[in-house]
Amino acid sequence: MLNAWRRLAGSPGSSVTILGVVFSLVVVALFLVDLGIRYRDAVGSAKTDALNLSAILAEHAAVTFEDIDRVLLEAQAIRKDALSGKYADPGAANIALRQLVRSSSILVAVGWTDASGAVVAHSYDHALPRSNISDMSHFIAQRDGAGTGLFVAPPYRSAGGDKWFSAASRRLNNPDGSFAGIVTAPLDQSFLLKIYRKIDLGPDGSVVLLHRTGRVLARVPEQKDVLGKSVAGGPLFTKYLPVSEVGSYELTSPIDGVARIAGYKAVPGLPLVMVVTYTRSYALQPWYRHLYTFGPLAAAIVTIILIGTFLLRRQTNALAAASARFDAALSNMPHGLSMFDADERLLVANSRYREMYDLTEAQVEPGTLLSSIVGHYKATGADLDAEEFLEGAKHRAQRIFTLGNGRIISILRTPMADGGWVATHQDITERRRDEILLAENAAELKLINTRFDVAISNMHQGLCLFDADKNLVVSNSRYQQMYDLPDELVRPGTPLQRILQYYADRGETSSLTVDQHVQRLRPRLRCPDRAFSVLAQDPQQATHLYQRRATRPLDLIQRRLRPTRIAVHHPLGALGLDDHHGNRVRDYVVQLARDPRSLVGHGEQRPLLLLRLQSGIDTLQLQRPLRPLLRRSPGGPGQQDRQQNRPDVRPDIVVRITN
């Protein structure tokens, strides 16, 4: 659990997750609190209703038994009249009692007994169910008791055993105060049941009239074998009634096992208790309706919150990852970067920006004014006008200035739509130095190129340079004159095949086609990338050697360049060159082009002279396929004549430069 909490707290979306979970818990808590309040209100309302109704029914029971007591008192008066001889006929007293019973709907009969329990007078119009009631509880209670008030007996079965009755009675005393019998009236509970059935207590709501002994006198809804059942062990008689004569409570009914909410009230002056109950399900119906209506809504709200929290957390994590990548990109940028809003307050700056201007993190906190940062520039000795710098920032102008440490900074400002701008700060110190060196080298290079152009333009030999794809790179005017080429064929980029095709179109013949010549030249002239070749031939030599027109370079190249004879047969020192690099190579090429004889070694039979000279990353190879040169010898005139009659043949020159 602790590890999960640590992982959650360390996540970029932890605050969002915690907020979403807390908000969900608040919604759930509020809903549960509301449910609790509504539950207590529903139960409290049911208790109040049951208590009020039980109080009303208890008052009704009290009034009913007052009428019963009045009847008993009148029956006691009839007995007194009978004892005084007012009724000559013994049956007259019974008739008077019958008239008295008709005045009350709850009374089954009325009569009195003697001290032995024998019934003396009664209101029955038929034979007595019991002629002696000495064994009845109400007779025993009156006989053994000293009170003369109304007594309500616990329920008992009729003589036939098919009905339950209760009885109200009063004690009769002799003039000396001794027990003389009782006046009693059996009670029919159906009268009470008719009244209780009219009360709407919802499904399975109940009204119960209990005797203090715990026996049921009357109950609605009616249930078999309920009347006379004892509930003395229930919570009413063991917990609540001993404490208070009136109250309410929750219980599981001992009669039918249903959860109920009850209100009770003891009937004043009588051993009776009135109980009214609602079933819990009925009392909580409004609460259940609220739960079923708003519970799913609350669950949906919590679900939406959690889903939104999850999505927001994932988006937050993605944004955090993107922000981390953005911070990493900013931190690893070669240039400084700063972003200001329309009020010239810093929004973001990378570490390179701080390093470039030697700023602390406190000096580049978000919200720092540009003027404060520029003040630090000035304090470090930067060569700038603060007011001019700020004015340039307002107009988003590019700015170049020198820091106190001599570094040169270029600031490029790009405006944003909200009025702010993004500035990139580039240290151009090295670039400025390179530009100065480049300018100096350009002047020198221009001078060298001028010398080279003058050199190749004044060469006795023709010179042309082809790249690795056999396209013309450069040629001199002597080359064009030697082969009588038009201007469009000596332009840079002209393919060698096109030049050869020009000769073929001009009527010059060969045993090979142009393509075959090009293919045959492939192994002989193949060069690495960025290579080029320089080919030249004196037309007089071509005429003497091949007895063909000197303007057929394909045959000249084919005959002069024999790869089987390419080898290094002459030492490097024989060329008279040292190991210097750079432009001396070019000077050597120019010199070789002007006077090839000056660099030829001893002997007339060397087929090839190869020069390799390293210059930086470039390698220059100079190949000179040579033919025997005609020399003036100290021999006889004949030999001199033969030498004079032979043309002065200049060797071919092939220069190959590779990188």
pLDDT tens per residue across span 245-254: 999 999 998 8
Bridge pairing between strands 206-211 and 164-173: unpaired
CA dist., res. 442 & res. 437, Å (int): 8
Q: What is the mean pLDDT of residues 342-367?
A: 86
Whether 538 has a pLDDT exceeding 50, the answer reads no
Dump pLDDT digits (tens) for 278-296: 999 999 999 999 999 999 9
Q: Are 191 and 217 in contact (CB under 8 A)?
A: no
- Worst-scoring range by mean pLDDT, 74-78, 353-357, 611-615, 642-646? 611-615
Instruction: List the structure tokens of 579.
Output: 């190991």
Residue 650 DSSP class: P
Please report, for residues 382, 398, 405, the alpha-carbon distance to residue 374 in angstroms, rounded to integers and kept in the order given. 9, 15, 16
Per-residue pLDDT, 435: 83
Higher-pLDDT residue of 229, 543: 229
How many angstroms from the chain centroid is the CA of residue 413? 35
What are the domain boundaries of the chain? 36-284, 333-427, 458-658
Q: Are 557 and 534 in contact (CB under 8 A)?
A: no
Residue 46 DSSP class: H
CA diameter of the chain: 213
Per-residue pLDDT, 542: 32
| 333-427 shares the fold of 36-284 | yes
State in Å, rounded, how far the first CA of the chain is from the last one.
67
Q: What is the mean pLDDT of residues 240-269?
A: 92
- Worst-scoring range by mean pLDDT, 68-82, 98-112, 436-450? 436-450
Per-residue pLDDT, 410: 87
Please report, for residues 147, 221, 278, 409, 628, the alpha-carbon distance to residue 203 in angstroms, rounded to integers and kept in the order given. 43, 10, 8, 92, 136
Does domain 36-284 match CATH 3.10.100.10?
Answer: no
Per-residue pLDDT, 519: 74
CA dist., res. 332 & res. 614, Å (int): 38
- Worst-scoring range by mean pLDDT, 39-48, 82-91, 135-144, 422-431? 82-91
Per-residue pLDDT, 371: 83
Dump pLDDT digits (tens) for 380-439: 667 667 677 777 776 777 778 788 788 888 888 888 888 888 888 888 888 888 888 888
Per-residue pLDDT, 592: 46
Q: 333-427 falls under which CATH superfamily?
A: PAS domain (3.30.450.20)
